[in-house]
Homo-oligomer: A and B are copies of this chain.
Amino acid sequence: GKDDADDGGVVVAQISKNKRVSVRSWSGKVMVDVREFYVKDGKDLPGRKGISLTMDQWKILRDNIKAIDEAIKENT
């Protein structure tokens, strides 16, 4: 479909001009990928900068949203 990333995953959120959050299955594991993309020959390709999170890692990040927002406030 139109939301499919070129790596077979699904793009869930475009967070900047060249950064995306996508979800994909890889070797039977679901991963959340936060990554830069670039365009080559009309194709969107994953860039070097980014990180793939396993479900365990994603859940810990998600459970720490409030703590992250508090740290942001303290640093602003």
B57 touches A15 (CB 8 A): yes
A71 beta carbon closer than 8 Å to chain B: yes
A39 beta carbon closer than 8 Å to chain B: no
Number of copies: 2
List residues of chain B with CB within 8 A of the CB of A14. 60
B57 touches A16 (CB 8 A): yes
B54 touches A16 (CB 8 A): yes
| A75 CA / B35 CA spacing, docked (Å) | 19
A68 touches B24 (CB 8 A): no
Residues of A in contact with B (beta carbons under 8 Å apart): 10, 12-16, 19, 21, 23-25, 30, 32, 34-36, 49-51, 53-58, 60-62, 64-65, 67-69, 71-72, 74-76
